[in-house]
Amino acid sequence: MICSFDAPLHLNFALASKAGNGYDMRTIFDGSLVQNEPTLAVTIVANHDTQPLQALESLVEAWFKPLAYALILLRRDGYPCIFYPDYFGAHYEDSGKDGETYEIFMDSHQWLIDKFLEVRQTYAFGDQYDYFDHANTITWTRLGTDEYPGGMAVVLSNGDAGSKWMEVGQPNQVYRDLTEHISDTVTTNDEGWADFRCEPGSVSVWVPQDA
């Protein structure tokens, strides 16, 4: 079996990052390899070819990268690959197509990526329920398994603050936002449903409070 980098998904991330709330997030996976051949897709946010001043420059704006990494690290399909400069940051000089030299700074997203990796290793298991029914706010949950119980909920928005009534399969459980973007907790009802939310242009990842 040969796997391939999901270049169409990267392009969707780049377009979405530039369009802001004008991009319909319900279409973020349209035309991507992970949507059509999930067992063959290596999902990426960026790589050495797409970074500034390189051969296939296609910039994913810094504000959108946490959303993009949540989309590749916390979902069921694809084999996610983290780009070194997105984790550690980068600073370099190189020549542009006009022959001029430019200084480039790339932000580190290590803190949030570490949070996503923690969640992936502990809670990103079991059935996945998608709630892709709003142009700016998309959400999903993972219900966990007997071996990895607890459930999790992910809410992200490229516009205003968003929220969604979702099932995590854990009744009367208190959840907290592991990203620390939201300090309030959320408690599920007797059927394991609750209203989970995120801040504008942001992502929140909800896990059991005792995690």
Contact at 8 Å (CB) between 73 and 80? yes
In angstroms, rounded to a whole number, what is the distance separating the alpha carbons of residues 185 and 203?
15
- Please state the domain extents for the chain: 4-117, 126-208
Helix axes 110-122, 65-73, angle to 10 degrees: 20
pLDDT in tens, 86-141: 999 988 888 877 778 878 888 999 999 999 999 999 999 999 999 999 999 999 99
- pLDDT tens string 8-56: 999 999 999 999 999 999 999 999 999 999 999 999 999 888 787 666 7
CATH class of 126-208: mainly beta
The dihedral sign for the CA sequence 112, 118, 120, 126: negative
Contact 53, 98 (CB under 8 A): no
SS3 call for 111: helix
Cβ-proximal residues to 180 (8 Å cutoff; 6+ apart), any chain: none
Question: Superfamily assignment of 4-117 in CATH?
Answer: Glycosidases (3.20.20.80)
Res. 78 pLDDT band, cuts 50 70 90: very high
**b/e 2-37 (16+ beta carbons within 10 angstroms → b):** eeebbbbbbebbbebbeeeeebbbeebbeebbbbee
H or E stretch covering 69: helix 65-73
- Write out the H or E segment, with its range, that includes residue 166: strand 162-167
| Contact indicator for 21, 160 with CB cutoff of 8 Å | yes
